[in-house]
Amino acid sequence: MKLLLFGAPGVGKGTQAKLLADYYSIPHFSTGDMLRAAVAAQTYLGVQAKQHMDGGRLVPDELMIAMIRDALVGPTAKTGFILDGFPRTVPQAETLTVIFHDIGASVFTVVNIDVDPELIIKRLSSRLMCPNDGKIFSSELMDVRQNGPCPACGTPLIQRVDDRPETVRERLEVYNAKTAPVLTFYEKLGVVVTVDGNDTVDAVNLNIRNKLRALKR
């Protein structure tokens, strides 16, 4: 099972990727999580990436491609994987085709999660993160607040710098300009499955699994 989760910021890629990784017992590679870990550890990559991430811009392709190539050629990706947040540009998608060829991953599916733009803004502005383990919570759906305790471990919850309203606008513009064309790239290959992401987490998850089962890939 090789899946690429695709969609605008805030459609629930990370949440769904974690659930699917558990369900299919395959590794989940989130480029956003990998970058945030690099920023926290102040590695060379983290220092380079931080300025772009905080501004809501994309991290340069060459850094991203090196990172994802390292993850996919490793032994953990042999039985399958879920990519969440990659590719985000057409050059990244083109290079991923070469990497897939190198690792023999000829059959894969792009899961496109589609959510109404107004709901995306609402979700991002109410999204809180636990800095300890990266878990995501919604102040719309749960009784959680910024600086309040993480329901799982008690660490004070934070709002991601790039979830602030002014940065969200920039991220959505970047998505439309640079990332949306990636969907057209994969549609031409006939590998896209689109699911309605406006529903609850569980309903969207069931919908994805049903669509994947129907594909029998």
Active-site pick, 2, 18, 88, 135: 88
Amino acid letter, 110: V
Q: Specify whether 50 is catalytic.
A: no
Asked if 32 is part of the footprint of ligand AMP (rule: CB under 6 A), the reply reads yes
Nearest approach in angstroms of CB 60 to ligand AMP is: 7
Tell me whether residue 72 is exposed, middle or buried, using C-beta atoms within 10 angstroms of its C-beta: 0 to 12, 13 to 18, 19 or more: buried
Active-site pick, 2, 13, 50, 123: 13
The rounded distance, in Å, linking the Cα atoms of 113 and 210 is 14
Report the helix count and the strand count for the chain, using DSSP H and E: 9, 7
Rounded to the nearest 10 degrees, what angle do helices 117-125 and 165-174 cross at? Answer: 140
Asked if 120 is part of the footprint of ligand AMP (rule: CB under 6 A), the reply reads no
- State which residue has the least CB distance to ligand AMP: 32
- What residues from 55 to 94 belong to the interface with ligand AMP (CB under 6 A)? 57-59, 64, 85-88, 92
The 161-200 site mask, x for binding ligand AMP (CB under 6 A), equals -x--------x-----------------------------
Q: Specify whether 209 is catalytic.
A: no
- Cis? peptide before 131, omega within 30° of 0: no
Q: Specify whether 160 is catalytic.
A: yes
Chain centroid, CA 214 distance in Å: 23
Residues at the contact surface with ligand AMP, assessed by CB under 6 A? 9, 31-32, 35, 52-53, 57-59, 64, 85-88, 92, 162, 171
